[in-house]
Amino acid sequence: MNLFQFLRPVKSAPVARERLQILLEYERRMVSQSALITVLREEILAVVSRHVTIDPERIHVKIDRGDRGSTLAVDVEIPDRPAAAVRR
Amino acid sequence: MGKVIVVTSGKGGVGKTTSTAALGAAIARTGQNVAVVDFDVGLRNLDLVMGAERRVVFDLINVVQGVAKLPQALIRDKRIETLYLLPASQTRDKDALTEDGVARVIAELRLRFDWVICDSPAGIERGATLAMRYADEAVIVANPEVSSVRDSDRIIGLLDSKTARAERGERVEKHLLITRYDPGRAARGEMLTIEDVLEILSIPLIGIIPESEEVLRASNIGAPITVCGHDSPPARAYNDAARRLAGEALDMMVPGEKKGFFNRLFGRRAA
């Protein structure tokens, strides 16, 4: 540490700016992802329910982001009684 | 039909109530009918900032629940006859606000006033979401500081998804109002600049309110800064912001900066 560091004004604003840019990019992605999951979940539920009676609580939708792409995992629990099938 | 504006921020203490009172008074002084509505149930302060705290009889919750009629709860400002306040309840909690009840009150206010300016509570809970629910436009109040900017970003996301307009596929027009700006500190690199905040939030700017002792003086005496601080820098900045809100195209001045540079910048941002 030398004398000149005391004389030079500390510029903290550029640090604030950079931290915000990085953080908000992440948070915006998270928010839009959770909105996407909500929509996917509802639509998948609607499609599956046309054919099979399922418990709306037993459907799980997950997105995993990787470096080279993302995976969408949909887990729907179907009751194993054939009578549960919806007749058309 | 009047226009409904929500003044919101996410973060507390950035100047929502001060800004609601200042913008409301500035617009009302032009002769238009303005109602300012306090949505901060349980922690009301708009009455105090406007100097009407001893005249509150009925409040927003009473009107929502049908205990009082809207005209009984509205308090007419003593200085500007076209300015009215609808106070929040101090003794109830925010759960007493219902979506249908708020919709009814806002619809009635729209019929009676040219402008309905809703002062949102801090946070993103029920009170804040109901304050923005039926808004046509939003004024997002932010300080040039990290936590305020982050919370503003979150609020912008909610305005784009959780409002009645957003659900109908329409837009809530958004305006950024930067308060407590210190041009000296920004120039020295100690505070985010206007350009920084605009670049991060990317919504159009409606005004820059410089940090000033006048703002505290106004709340001390219970008068909107645009009423009692006629020619102070924050009063002038709020008056300009009010004119922009009403649709005027005014040059934007950054305190302590040369005019030309920023006008180019603002022109670009506001497009």
Please give, rounded to a whole number of angstroms, the shortest distance from the CA of A45 to a CA of chain B: 21
Q: Are A11 and B190 in contact (CB < 8 Å)?
A: yes
Q: Are B154 and A27 in contact (CB < 8 Å)?
A: yes
The more confidently predicted of residues B56 and B230 is B56
pLDDT of residue B132: 98
**A10: chain B residues, CB-CB within 8 Å:** 189-190
Please give, rounded to a whole number of angstroms, the shortest distance from the CA of B200 to a CA of chain A: 6
Q: Are B176 and B140 in contact (CB under 8 A)?
A: yes
- Which of A7, A8, A11, A17 should one mutate to test binding to chain B, selecting the residue with the greatest count of B CBs within 10 A? A17
pLDDT of residue B11: 96
B140 interface with A at CB cutoff 8 Å: no
**ipTM of the complex as predicted:** 0.82
B192 interface with A at CB cutoff 8 Å: yes
Q: Mean of the pLDDT values across residues B156-184?
A: 96
**pLDDT per residue rounded down to tens, chain A (88 residues):** 556 666 666 799 999 999 999 999 999 988 888 888 888 999 999 999 899 888 888 888 888 877 888 888 899 888 876 554 555 5
pLDDT of residue B255: 79
**B190: chain A residues, CB-CB within 8 Å:** 9-13
pLDDT of residue B99: 94
What is the tens place of the pLDDT at every residue in B35-75?
999 999 999 999 999 999 999 999 999 999 999 999 999 99
